[in-house]
Copies of this chain bind each other. A is one copy, B any other.
Amino acid sequence: MANYRLDLQYEGTRYDGWQKQGNTKNTIQGRLETLLGEYCKEEIALIGSGRTDAGAHAAGQVANFHTTKKLDEEDLRDYLNDHLPGDIGVTKVQAVEEAFHARHHASQKVYVYRVWNSRVKNVLEGRYLFQSPEELDLEQMKQAAAHLVGTHDFRSFCANGRMKKSTVRTVFSIDIQRIGEEVRLTFCGNGFLYNMVRMMAGTLLQVGEGKLLPEEMPSILEQKNRQAAGVTLPAKGLLLQSVSYGDSPKS
C-alpha cells in the first residue's frame, strides 16, 4: 500500500471541526475523504494528526492515507485545491513510508490563540481573533503560564470529564506576546487534550484580568477537576500552527 501525507490549511468558520461525526459531511476530514475517494476511485480513510474543534483553524494540519494506487503528488495537490472550497487548502502532498501515522507519530504540536485586546473590532482578521477589551497584565499571565509548562496531569484542562486514557501531557513552552492590539498566546506541547488549549488560554486571560492569580495554577492542576480551571475561550481564536514528526519512522 502506498501512504501519502497531506499538509493542510483551513479556515474552520463554516465547518463542524476536523472529524467526521455520524452522518455529517460538513467536516474537514469528510470533505477531503470524499475528494480523495473520487480521485483514487476507492474508499479512503484519512488520518489527521488530531481533531480540531468546530470553528477552529489550521495553518499546518497534517494527515495521511493509504491507497492501492500510485499517485502523482503535484497532480493530487492541484486536484484537491481545484475541487475543495476556498476555505480548505492543501499545501503539500508527499509519499511517505508505509508505517507513517499522522496521529501516532506526531511528536510536537504548536497551537496559537489570538486575542484582540481592544474595544474596537478588527474587521480584516476578525475571523481569527477572539475580541476581549479588558486590560491585560502580561507579566502576570507569563508567570501563570510558567506553572503550566512541563509534564503534568492536565485533567483540570480537559473538557471530556469521562476521559479514560491518560490525561498527562507535556507542555514544552507557552509564549505570550503583545503585537499592537493583539495578545498572542503560543502553546507548544507533545499533545493537547480536548479543549485544553482554549481552557489554558481562558485561564491565562483571567489571570491577565486579575481574576485569578499565577500562584493558583498549581492548585488548579492538582485538583484534576475541570471546574477548577478558568473559562473555555471560543474556537474562532484558535489556530493549529504546525505539527512536527521527530521520531522514526520519519515522514
**Minimal beta-carbon separation of A24 from chain B (angstroms):** 21
Mark each residue of chain A from 35 to 75: 1 if its CB lies under 8 Å from any CB of chain B, else 0. Answer: 00000000000000000000001010000000000000000
* Residues 88 to 135 of chain A near chain B (Cβ within 8 Å): 88-92, 119-124, 126-128
**Contact among B9, B87, B120, B126 for A91, CB-based, below 8 A:** B120
**Contact among B86, B87, B120 for A77, CB-based, below 8 A:** B120
Contact B122 A89, beta carbon cutoff 8 Å: yes
Contact A119 B86, beta carbon cutoff 8 Å: no
Interchain CA distance A59-B180 in the complex, whole Å: 15
Does residue A16 face the partner (Cβ distance < 8 Å to B)?
no
**Residues on the B chain within 8 Å of A127, using CB:** 86
**Minimal beta-carbon separation of A30 from chain B (angstroms):** 17
Does residue A78 face the partner (Cβ distance < 8 Å to B)?
yes
**Contact among B11, B77, B78, B124 for A124, CB-based, below 8 A:** B11
Contact A124 B57, beta carbon cutoff 8 Å: yes
**Minimal beta-carbon separation of A88 from chain B (angstroms):** 6
**Residues on the B chain within 8 Å of A88, using CB:** 123
**Residues on the B chain within 8 Å of A86, using CB:** 121, 123, 126-127
Does residue A187 face the partner (Cβ distance < 8 Å to B)?
no
Contact B81 A120, beta carbon cutoff 8 Å: yes
Residue of B nearest to A126 (CB): B86
Starting from the known contacts A11-B124, A87-B123, 4 additional A-B residue pairs (CB-CB under 8 Å) come to A10-B123, A59-B124, A81-B121, A89-B122
**Minimal beta-carbon separation of A35 from chain B (angstroms):** 15
Contact A123 B11, beta carbon cutoff 8 Å: yes
Contact B128 A124, beta carbon cutoff 8 Å: yes
Instruction: Pull 25 A–B residue pairs with CB atoms less than 8 Å apart, ordered by A.
Output: A9-B122, A9-B123, A9-B124, A10-B123, A11-B123, A11-B124, A57-B124, A59-B124, A78-B119, A81-B120, A81-B121, A86-B121, A86-B123, A86-B126, A87-B123, A88-B123, A89-B120, A89-B121, A89-B122, A89-B123, A89-B126, A90-B120, A91-B120, A92-B120, A124-B128
**Residues on the B chain within 8 Å of A120, using CB:** 77, 81, 89-92
**Minimal beta-carbon separation of A222 from chain B (angstroms):** 38
**Minimal beta-carbon separation of A95 from chain B (angstroms):** 17
**Residues on the B chain within 8 Å of A9, using CB:** 122-124
